[in-house]
Amino acid sequence: MKKILLTTVALLSMASASVFGMYGVDTDWIFFLTHGNQFRARLDQLGFTLGNDTIKGTFGFDNNTGYGGAYGAMLSYNSTANVSGDDYNWVPSISMGIGYTSSVIGIGVGYNATIGTERYKAKPDSKSGNEVTHTPVLVLNALDNAFRMAIPIQVFVKNTENGGVKQKEQAVSVDSQFRYYTGLEMLPQVRLYLRYGNYSYDNGNNDKGKYGESFGFDFRLYFGSMVEEVALQPIVRLVYNGALGKQHNNRRVEAVKAMNGTYSTNPTGVWEQSAWDVKLLTALGLTANSDIVSLYFEPSLGLDITQGGSASQKVKETYRLAYDVYAEIYITPIKNLEWYFEASIGNIATQTAALAFAGTTGITWYLPAL
């Protein structure tokens, strides 16, 4: 029973977070300092973490499927090849990092370069190149890893020249995460995600402004109990994302999505009501494991209230039922080799009634310490 409980606690601390991602541009970096040595190969990522009890490093590639990328899109066909003569672009998201770990404190720094698919020329007669979003990261663990935080800062800047006038487009966003593992059986974990984004332009001749600015948070309480050999983990989430100001209807601004052209870039619209959404969600995580197979299953259900930004004070918010089903399966046929599969289906991430399905699979090879 003790082995089952310890394994369950480990799984619950990882579950529903794409835990073996090669970090990319978001808060998956929070696992960097606690990962053991491993090589990972999945549909959307490839990389490794290596080190000893004091120093560790990581390097890898990611397709950034959550930011407009697609599986297998690291080598992407360039439909606008006429600007450069190249038929294909090398468009991965590349991560690297180094960290120091101890029982008292752990600290790490990382960097991610996300290469966009669009090619452009900074000047009419210059050589074309790909857009890039740069993401420096700070990771900190303390209290024997009970407290963890990760702060990635996405930065995208595009300088061009039009008719001799210098123009700039830039976006900065922060997607930070803070966790505290309490050690309490009834309330083992608390999480807080804080998000800020700013997307602005300067077309010269005093023509400057913001395409969008936003603030948001995601607060989560994790409760826990055991029923025979199944771990139950009720979860309560309060999520808010909102536009700052009344000049846009983008509730969550992210620099990588700005680079990929996700947002509407019409700065002239003015709404009497700013865009925002609030979700109150409940979920139940269930974990069961054996010597070979471990399963995590998490259905979620809640209320989503959305104000899309309106030119009239009379427009009402919309209400909908938000739901999702998420699952992870770990199969370990031999001690150090693991097959992993994760999938989710639901409408929580779509902001509409439509269902969205996402999933990935691959292997993890756990390596000995150096």
Give the helix/strand (H/E) hosting 14: helix 2-14
Residue 282: count of CB within 10 angstroms of its CB: 13
Concatenated DSSP letters of 127-163? PEEEEEEEEEEEEEEETTTTEEEEEEEEEEEEEEEET
Which residues in 123-158 are b (16+ Cβ under 10 Å) and which e? eeeeeeebbbbebebebbbeeebeebbbbbbbebeb
d(CA 255, CA 155) in angstroms, rounded, equals 6
Domain hosting 77: range is: 2-366
pLDDT at 88: 61
> Between the CA of residue 117 and those of 16, 73, 146, 237, 261, what are the distances in Å?
29, 9, 40, 35, 10
User: Quick check: 238 and 219 in contact, CB under 8 A?
Assistant: yes
Which residues in 1-39 are b (16+ Cβ under 10 Å) and which e? eeebeebbbebbbbbbbbbbbbbbbbbbbbbbbbbebbe
Cα torsion angle, 39, 177, 321, 305, sign = negative
Residue with tokens 């991610």: 112
Residue 213: count of CB within 10 angstroms of its CB: 19
CATH number of the domain bearing residue 119? 2.40.160
d(CA 226, CA 77) in angstroms, rounded, equals 51
User: Quick check: 143 and 116 in contact, CB under 8 A?
Assistant: no
> Between the CA of residue 237 and those of 15, 193, 232, 321, 358, what are the distances in Å?
15, 11, 16, 15, 21
Angle at 352 between CA 347 and CA 353, to 5 degrees: 65
| Number of domains comprising the chain | 1
pLDDT at 66: 65
pLDDT at 80: 55
pLDDT at 1: 43
One-letter identity of residue 121? K
Token pair recorded at residue 8 = 């369950």
Question: Which residue numbers in the chain have pLDDT < 50?
Answer: 1-20, 81-82, 84-85
User: Quick check: 242 and 277 in contact, CB under 8 A?
Assistant: yes
What is the rounded average pLDDT for all residues in the chain?
Answer: 85
User: Quick check: 57 and 49 in contact, CB under 8 A?
Assistant: yes
> Between the CA of residue 283 and those of 185, 238, 320, 346, what are the distances in Å?
18, 12, 17, 13
Give the helix/strand (H/E) hosting 4: helix 2-14
- Overall pTM surpassing 0.95 (yes/no): no
pLDDT at 315: 77
Report residue 207: phi and psi, to 5°.
-100, 90
Residue-wise pLDDT tens digits, 317-336: 899 999 999 999 999 999 89
User: Quick check: 187 and 223 in contact, CB under 8 A?
Assistant: yes
